[in-house]
């Protein structure tokens, strides 16, 4: 028997380190734990979560820190703790077990495995005692251990059936013979009809409670609304963007979005803040500004970036993974307000007090659980609040409104300073390649859309960090911790082969960062980024492509041998890796080399039937299919890099909402600029008196234009 010793203290994952002092004999996933389970023929208790997860913290406090429950776990099981952000391959596989058993997935994920890693029972959070219709965790442990000892044949049969179901569930069904790919004219209409049937017409968003941003679904509706003039789809997106910004899911003091709302009104959030949500919403609000021209959307984008720069940036330029929901052992305590706390923050500034109280809805009774505290929201507009206040200072209505506006600004500054003095939620300081890729692309694109060159610079700096420390031979590692590569396939984690000093990550790392390189190319016109994107795509095809499916596997061919090799075709909180891999190849085929078209087309051909049946689950695939079937518009600017005329034309191209778009620069004095985009560079002469622009779809291009106004008209 192995000694009951917790083995997490030497891990790099902040989530695993949170559990390093539990009395549970936790192991990280790897050969030591798996060999022990086989050797002693003991079932495995696999617990998966992440550092910012509120219910993970609850289960830790209630069960994993309890000496009696820990002894029970240690006696009956080999206990393995996994950070789902570090090992999404394991989470993909074992999250399906709960869903196959007819329940909703989530975290903490609790899965029971045979010694050869096959799952036979799973759940999420279990209370320490029977409660709310759920069995207590000790009772679950006893029943599972008893079944493994005394009904082993039944356990083995269930494990085999679940494993086979996992393999089937993660493969897109083959298209029936003779069924053609959807035409572009029908694709968005069919997808939007499904999504609009689930849209909340009062509060926006998809479904009721809990309510997530679901940015991929909103991207589909925005495309349909703008590109195909569907007023209902456009209004659904606009309503959602407005209500999310007004609600408590938005941080009204610092900026940035919390993970989701526990109610249908976006009022009371689950308070953790995730990098991927804010990256995706940054791009969505920038696109919303392009489409609807509402200044509040540009302001929202700027405040998202302000939050990320202030609280989530690594000293070397990367961005951290998440901020916790909890502080001082309570969810949301850092973010909520009482009237007494408001008074302490603003002091004797009565107008600031009244404006904050009315605008943010701070009340004596509160709106957060039974705490008497208030989650801030846009309870009233500035004008509505000013209308009910008489500050006694005289002057006309506009002067009064100005005083109220200044008072609200003073209140926000004072409240933020007071909040910053509170004990802060923990921060998961992993710099994940995949999520940084999402943000780098969003910063580059939104920075050009909103004329914020510092954002593009920040994107380039973050990319340089990942390129320097995680990119080897075109393969992207999983993450950095304390400035060093860590994560997937570490020495205790399995068979993954290292490339230099970095062990390759997963498909999302490759696909997200490859697309980010192309976003940076468009934002900077530096052709080197196209070369990097091609190197990533080449390695991705070499190590993740499955000719038999055909399609991209989530794990590389030299990664850990698990019970199933999944494909990650469904969007979760972030877009599916398979759809983003197809997008990378498709974008490269449009500007750099047409040989990348084949893997893109073949992956999308496999995904298309499922996407048409389930636009909510495959929203990103719908968007990439739209790009393939509709065709991208490539804006080719020919002129001197850095010249005023070239800058004017590219600036105009970035202002237009045109999601299936590429912007390339060909500088006649720099042959490498044409070589990087050889598919579209040929046959477009320069002019001696300034830059010109062409709008191309496929091989067909417009006549050259020389002014921003002419280009705007052309793109419209």
Q: Tell me, what's the pLDDT at 667? A: 94
Give Cα 606 to chain centroid, integer Å: 24
Same fold, 14-169 and 632-716: yes
β-sheet bridge partners, residue 427 = 323
Which residues lie below 8 Å from residue 231, measured CB to CB, with a gap of 6+?
225
Using an 8 Å Cβ cutoff, are 470 and 463 in contact?
no
**3-class secondary structure, 485:** strand
- C-alpha 625/C-alpha 186 separation (Å) is 11
β-sheet bridge partners, residue 481 = 484
Strand locations in 106-212, DSSP E?
A: 109-113, 119-123
Question: Which class for 194: exposed (0-12), middle (13-18), buried (19 or more C-beta within 10 A)?
Answer: middle
Phi-psi group of 428: left, alpha or beta (phi > 0 → left; psi -120 to 50 → alpha; rest → beta)? beta
For 94, phi and psi rounded to 5 degrees? -85, -20
Q: Tell me, what's the pLDDT at 174? A: 58
Closest among 169, 110, 178 to 140, alpha carbons compared? 110
Using an 8 Å Cβ cutoff, are 336 and 373 in contact?
yes
- Running DSSP on this structure, what letter comes out for residue 596? G
- C-alpha 355/C-alpha 401 separation (Å) is 11
358-390 pLDDT, tens digit per residue, is 999 999 999 998 888 999 999 999 999 999 998
In the chain, domain spans: 14-169, 335-422, 632-716
Give Cα 172 to chain centroid, integer Å: 22
- C-alpha 113/C-alpha 44 separation (Å) is 5
Q: Tell me, what's the pLDDT at 132? A: 77
- C-alpha 601/C-alpha 603 separation (Å) is 6
- Running DSSP on this structure, what letter comes out for residue 64? I
Using an 8 Å Cβ cutoff, are 249 and 269 in contact?
yes
* DSSP element (H, E) containing 416: helix 397-420
Q: Tell me, what's the pLDDT at 182? A: 55
The encoded tokens of residue 135 equal 């069995």
Buried b / exposed e across 472-505, counting CB within 10 Å, b at 16+?
Answer: bebbbbbbbbeeebbbbbbeebbebebbeebbbb
480-504 pLDDT, tens digit per residue, is 999 999 865 444 344 456 666 889 9
- C-alpha 470/C-alpha 486 separation (Å) is 9
Q: Tell me, what's the pLDDT at 492? A: 39
Which residues lie below 8 Å from residue 647, measured CB to CB, with a gap of 6+?
none
- C-alpha 469/C-alpha 141 separation (Å) is 43
Over the chain (716 residues), what is each successive 10-residue block's mean pLDDT? Answer: 83 94 97 95 96 92 96 96 95 89 86 96 92 89 96 96 86 55 76 97 94 97 97 98 98 97 96 97 98 98 98 97 92 96 97 97 92 94 92 80 95 98 95 98 98 98 98 96 75 53 94 98 97 98 92 94 90 95 98 97 94 95 96 95 94 96 95 94 86 91 94 92
For 559, phi and psi rounded to 5 degrees? -90, -170
Closest among 219, 225, 151, 139 to 189, alpha carbons compared? 225
Overall fold of domain 632-716 = Glutaredoxin (3.40.30)
Q: Whole-model pTM?
A: 0.94
Helices (H), 228-370: 231-246, 275-292, 295-311, 339-346, 350-360
Q: What's the Cα-to-Cα distance from 52 to each of 6, 37, 175, rounded to whole Å? A: 21, 29, 40
- C-alpha 541/C-alpha 537 separation (Å) is 6
Q: How many helices (H) and strands (E) does the chain have?
A: 27, 23
Using an 8 Å Cβ cutoff, are 375 and 335 in contact?
yes
- Running DSSP on this structure, what letter comes out for residue 498? P
Which residues lie below 8 Å from residue 699, measured CB to CB, with a gap of 6+?
none
pLDDT, mean over the chain: 93
Give Cα 13 to chain centroid, integer Å: 19
The domain covering 14-169 belongs, at the CATH homologous superfamily level, to Glutaredoxin (3.40.30.10)
Is the link from the previous residue into 412 a cis peptide, with omega within 30 of 0?
A: no
Give Cα 114 to chain centroid, integer Å: 32
Q: Tell me, what's the pLDDT at 495? A: 43
């Amino acid at each position: 028997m192995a000694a009951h010793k917790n083995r997490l203290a030497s891990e790099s994952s902040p989530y695993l380190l949170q559990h390093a002092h539990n009395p549970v004999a936790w192991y990280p996933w790897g050969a030591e734990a798996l060999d022990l389970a086989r050797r002693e023929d003991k079932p495995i208790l696999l617990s998966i979560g992440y550092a910012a997860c509120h219910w993970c913290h609850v289960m830790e406090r209630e069960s994993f820190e309890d000496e009696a429950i820990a002894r029970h776990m240690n006696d009956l099981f080999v206990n393995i703790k996994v950070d789902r952000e570090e090992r999404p391959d394991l989470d993909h596989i074992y999250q399906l077990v709960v869903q196959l058993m007819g329940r909703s997935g989530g975290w903490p994920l609790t899965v029971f495995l045979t010694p050869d890693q096959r799952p036979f029972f799973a759940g999420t959070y279990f209370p320490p005692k029977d409660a709310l219709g759920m069995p207590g965790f000790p009772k679950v442990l006893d029943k599972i251990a008893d079944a493994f000892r005394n009904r082993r044949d039944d356990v083995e049969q269930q494990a085999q059936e679940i494993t086979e179901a996992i393999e089937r569930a993660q493969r897109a069904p083959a298209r029936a013979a003779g069924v053609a790919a959807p035409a572009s004219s029908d694709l968005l209409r069919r997808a939007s009809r499904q999504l609009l049937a689930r849209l909340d017409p009062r509060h926006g968003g998809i479904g009721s409670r809990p309510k997530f941003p679901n940015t991929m679904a909103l991207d589909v509706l925005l495309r349909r609304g703008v590109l195909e003039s569907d007023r209902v789809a456009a209004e659904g997106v606009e309503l959602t963007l407005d209500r999310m910004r007004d609600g408590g899911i938005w941080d009204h003091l610092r900026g940035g979005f919390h993970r989701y709302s526990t109610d249908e009104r976006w009022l009371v959030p689950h308070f953790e803040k995730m990098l991927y949500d804010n990256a995706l919403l940054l791009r969505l609000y920038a696109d919303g500004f392009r489409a609807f021209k509402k200044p509040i959307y540009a302001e929202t984008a700027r405040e998202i970036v302000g939050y990320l720069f202030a609280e989530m940036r690594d000293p070397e330029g990367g961005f951290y993974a998440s901020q916790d929901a909890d502080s001082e052992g309570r969810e949301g305590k850092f973010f909520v307000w009482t009237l007494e706390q408001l008074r302490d923050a603003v002091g004797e500034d009565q107008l600031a007090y009244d404006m904050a109280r009315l605008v943010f809805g701070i009340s004596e009774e509160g709106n957060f659980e039974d705490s008497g505290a208030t989650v801030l929201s846009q309870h009233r507009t500035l004008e509505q609040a000013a209308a009910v206040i008489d500050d006694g200072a005289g002057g006309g209505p506009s002067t009064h409104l100005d005083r109220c506006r200044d008072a609200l600004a003073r209140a926000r500054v004072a409240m933020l300073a007071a909040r910053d003095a509170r004990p802060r939620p923990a921060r998961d300081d992993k710099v994940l390649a995949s999520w940084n890729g999402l943000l780098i692309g969003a910063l580059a694109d939104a920075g050009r859309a909103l004329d914020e060159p510092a954002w593009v610079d920040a994107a380039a700096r973050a990319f340089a960090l990942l390129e320097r420390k995680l990119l080897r031979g075109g393969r992207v590692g999983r993450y950095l911790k304390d400035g060093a590569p860590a994560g997937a396939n570490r020495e205790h984690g399995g068979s993954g082969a290292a490339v230099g000093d970095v062990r390759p990550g997963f498909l999302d790392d490759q696909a997200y960062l490859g697309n980010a390189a192309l976003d940076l190319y468009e934002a900077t016109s530096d052709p080197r980024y196209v070369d990097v994107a091609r190197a990533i795509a080449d390695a991705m095809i070499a190590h993740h492509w499955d000719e038999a499916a055909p399609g991209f596997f989530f794990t590389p061919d030299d990664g850990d041998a698990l019970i199933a090799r999944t494909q990650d075709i469904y969007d979760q909180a972030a877009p599916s890796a398979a759809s983003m891999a197809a997008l990378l190849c498709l974008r490269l085929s449009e500007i750099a080399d047409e040989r990348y078209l084949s893997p893109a087309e073949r992956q999308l051909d496999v995904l298309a039937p499922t996407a048409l049946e389930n636009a909510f689950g495959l929203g990103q695939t719908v968007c990439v299919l739209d790009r393939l079937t509709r065709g991208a518009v490539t804006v080719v600017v020919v002129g001197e890099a850095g010249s005023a005329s070239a800058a004017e034309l590219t600036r105009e191209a970035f202002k237009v909402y045109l999601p299936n778009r590429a912007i390339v620069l060909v500088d006649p004095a720099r042959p490498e600029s044409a070589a990087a985009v050889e598919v579209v560079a040929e046959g477009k002469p320069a002019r001696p008196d300034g830059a010109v622009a062409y709008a191309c779809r496929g091989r067909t291009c417009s006549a050259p234009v020389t002014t921003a106004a002419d280009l705007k008209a052309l793109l419209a």
